[in-house]
Every structure is written in C-alpha cells, then in structure tokens.
Amino acid sequence: MAKLENLKTNLSLPYAKIHPSIDPEADPNSYSLEKFRLYETRARYYLIGSDRNKKFFRVLKIDRSEPSDLNISEDPVVYSPQEIKNLLQRIAEGNRATGGLNFVAKVFGIVGCIKFLESYYLILVTKRQQIGSICGHAIYSIDESQLITVPHVSVQSDIAHSKTELRLLELVLRLVIRLSIFGRDFSVTLVSRRSRHFAGTREKGLVDKRELTAH
C-alpha cells in the first residue's frame, strides 16, 4: 500500500527559512513549482522542484528500498539556491560508497504512479508545449513522457522482470505515446439560454406543474 509521509530533514546544516516579513518579494507561499530535476541514489529518488526564477526549492523523496510499496516524503523546508546546492553535495558524499548521486532527468511534473504485478513506476512529463492560457495561467500539453521504475534493481524479484509485467508495461507505453501525439486544438463557446417561461426572477426547483427548473 502506498504511504505518504511528511518528514523533517535530518541534516545538520543550519537551513535558514525565508521570512516574507523581511523580504515581501521573497514569499515562499506566493510561488508555484514549475521546474523539476530528478536525481537518484541506490536508496532514494530526489525530485527537486523550483519556481520559475529558481529562487525557491523544495524536495520530494521517494524510497527505492521496497520492491512493491510506495513511500514518499515531502521535505517541509524551503531552500535557497545555495542551500539546495549544499544539500545535493551532502547527499552525493553520503552515498559515495553505493554509487553517489546521479542526475536522471529534467521533468516538468509527475503525472502519477502506476503499479502492475510488483513494482511502482513514475510517469514523468519530460517535454511540454504551451497551448493557451486562462486568466494569465499557462496551459500546457504533454508532448513527451517517461516511465521510471521506482525500486532499485537490487531489491526487485523475478516478478518485476516477468513476461506479464513487461507486456503490461509495453501496453502503458503505447498508450502514453498515443496520447502524446494525437489531438487537435479546439474552442468551445458556452451559451446560457433561459426559458421564455422563466425570463423574470431566477428560480430553482420544482414549478407548479412539477417540472424541474435550474434557472
């Protein structure tokens, strides 16, 4: 079963949180994460998210030691550019004996997680295209995506590499490809039409003839 936990960082570095009262333009609650970089160690994935200007950084940790469970923890700390650099250096040094810290991919978000017979997979957005905007907020289409196995290969059983597992994975990959290359732009005009019988004061519910109206 998937577990979602909120854990505080156990690093000893004195990470200074950003104080909005000191710098009104540096409010960590007024931004959205738009850019992500995925790193891996033998034990975890680290998804590093940043705002558009790369002033604020957040960290999502995904455990890789369980063959069939999904354990995700969100670091509550808001990091500055120098702090996130120090954090990655410490992770790399701490995992040097088991391969260190490796860059996996630049992504724009996680579509979700999927599981077949044993292992969980991450569905990542690796390429996007802006197709419009609503009230100043950009709307994107997914042009390319990628599936990444969550557990490390050392903890996977033979089931994760079985013919059935690979066949199911291939079906999902085909579906993702189809969804990413087929489509068309369209516009919809919404028209609100009121009945001539209820053109006056708005009414809602049952009328005398027991007809339902939502005017």
Read off the pLDDT of residues 169-201 as tens digits, 9 standing for 90 and up.
Answer: 888 777 765 555 433 454 556 666 665 555 555
Mean pLDDT over each residue of the chain, to the nearest integer: 76
Cα diameter, the chain: 80
Q: What percent of the chain has pLDDT over 70?
A: 67
pLDDT of residue 109: 84
Q: What is the mean pLDDT of residues 131-143?
A: 82
Model confidence band, residue 166 (pLDDT cutoffs 50, 70, 90): confident
At 84-132, the pLDDT tens digits run 999 999 999 999 999 999 999 999 888 888 888 888 999 888 888 888 8
How much is the pTM? 0.67
Tell which wins on pLDDT, 140 or 45. 45
Cα pseudo-dihedral 169, 172, 174, 178, rounded to 10: -170
pLDDT of residue 41: 97
pLDDT of residue 107: 92
At 28-75, the pLDDT tens digits run 566 788 889 999 999 999 999 999 889 999 999 999 999 989 999 999
